[in-house]
């Protein structure tokens, strides 16, 4: 039997996606290295080191800078940044655009989504407590919805705020404020759970009642501990035997 460890006054929890619900590296580490190879093949120039530096990825360690575009940028921002890298490598703008068109792809939201906890069990326990569930991510809406469906939790999510929805992205408070409007609750009645300072600061800016960091993603534990109300190893810690 599992017991859910959530303060009784909270009526909703807003989760980040990558690094919080699913493994960040499994989704994005392989993607950026494959994208670099595809761009080099399309453009006939060596640019992987430039691309990695631009997005905040260290290929030697696999570490992602938690404040850099690969961790917190939208897919549109990443695509534009890749085009900038191509132009900085000496390609004329039309050639850079052609290389992006040929090489760009998005990570498979189903094959690469590795959950960091028993998500159906956790979400089911939350709903049994009457807690509303939402997700705020900088990923696009279509792959986010596909991921949630593949993980078997789409029907348990009350609201989504995604990177291509048109609102300012993290750490701006807009995603949480939008979610709270959709589900009809005040931000003070909601918790925000995420793996980066952008998640923590978004929760603070929105006036969330509780802001929780998790060490399962790209955020530095010391930074999370300095700004979050609570830091957990992962969301699996919300359910204890």
Position 229 in a domain:
yes
49 in the same domain as 8:
no
Q: Residue 115: what pLDDT?
A: 97
Q: Which domain holds residue 13?
A: 3-22+113-240
32 in the same domain as 17:
no
227 in the same domain as 144:
yes
157 in the same domain as 188:
yes
Position 98 in a domain:
yes
Domain edge (last residue) among 103, 136, 166: 103
Closest CA to 120 of 161, 160, 150: 150
Sequence-separated (6 or more) residues with CB below 8 Å from residue 93: 87
Regarding pTM above 0.85, the answer is: yes
Position 99 in a domain:
yes
* Whether residue 26 has pLDDT greater than 50: yes
136 in the same domain as 99:
no
Report the number of distinct structural domains present in the chain: 2
Q: Residue ranges of the alpha helices (H) in 60-196?
A: 69-72, 75-88, 93-103, 119-128, 141-150, 174-183
Position 80 in a domain:
yes
32 in the same domain as 9:
no
138 in the same domain as 55:
no
133 in the same domain as 59:
no
* Whether residue 1 has pLDDT greater than 80: no
Q: Residue 12: what pLDDT?
A: 97
pLDDT in tens, 167-197: 999 999 999 999 999 999 999 999 999 999 9
**Residue 8: φ, ψ to 5°:** -65, -25
Position 221 in a domain:
yes
Domain edge (last residue) among 103, 132, 156: 103
Q: Residue 240: what pLDDT?
A: 67
CA distance 100 to 40: 10
174 in the same domain as 221:
yes
32 in the same domain as 12:
no
Sequence-separated (6 or more) residues with CB below 8 Å from residue 79: 100, 104
Position 132 in a domain:
yes
189 in the same domain as 173:
yes
Position 207 in a domain:
yes
Tokens 């530096």 found at: 53
Kindly provide the b/e burial profile for residues 114-128, where b requires at least 16 CB atoms within 10 angstroms of the residue's own CB.
ebbbebeebbebbee
Mean pLDDT of the region 16-36: 95
CA distance 31 to 14: 26
Domain edge (last residue) among 68, 103, 138: 103
Q: Residue 239: what pLDDT?
A: 79
Position 108 in a domain:
no
**Residue 3: φ, ψ to 5°:** -120, 130
117 in the same domain as 91:
no
CATH number of the domain that residue 124 is part of = 3.40.50.1000
């Amino acid at each position: 039997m599992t017991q859910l460890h959530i303060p009784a006054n909270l009526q909703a929890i807003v989760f980040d996606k990558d690094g919080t619900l699913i493994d960040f590296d499994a989704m994005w580490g392989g993607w950026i290295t494959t994208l670099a190879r595809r761009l080099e093949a399309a453009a006939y120039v060596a640019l992987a080191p430039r691309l990695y530096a631009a997005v905040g990825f260290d290929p030697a360690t696999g570490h992602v800078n938690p404040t850099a575009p690969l961790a917190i940028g939208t897919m549109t921002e990443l695509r534009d940044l890749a085009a900038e890298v191509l132009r900085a490598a000496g390609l004329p703008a039309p050639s850079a655009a052609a290389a992006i068109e040929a090489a760009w792809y998005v990570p498979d939201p189903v094959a690469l989504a590795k959950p960091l906890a028993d998500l159906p069990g956790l979400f089911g326990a939350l709903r049994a407590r009457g807690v509303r569930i939402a997700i705020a991510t900088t990923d696009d809406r279509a792959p986010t919805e596909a991921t949630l469906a593949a993980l078997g939790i789409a029907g348990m999510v009350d609201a989504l705020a995604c990177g291509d929805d048109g609102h300012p992205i993290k750490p701006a408070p807009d995603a949480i404020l939008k979610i709270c409007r959709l589900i009809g609750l005040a931000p003070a009645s909601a918790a925000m759970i995420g793996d980066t300072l952008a998640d923590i600061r978004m929760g603070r800016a929105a006036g969330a009642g509780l802001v929780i960091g998790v060490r399962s993603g790209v955020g530095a534990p010391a930074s999370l501990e300095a700004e979050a109300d609570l830091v957990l190893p992962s969301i699996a810690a919300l359910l204890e035997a």
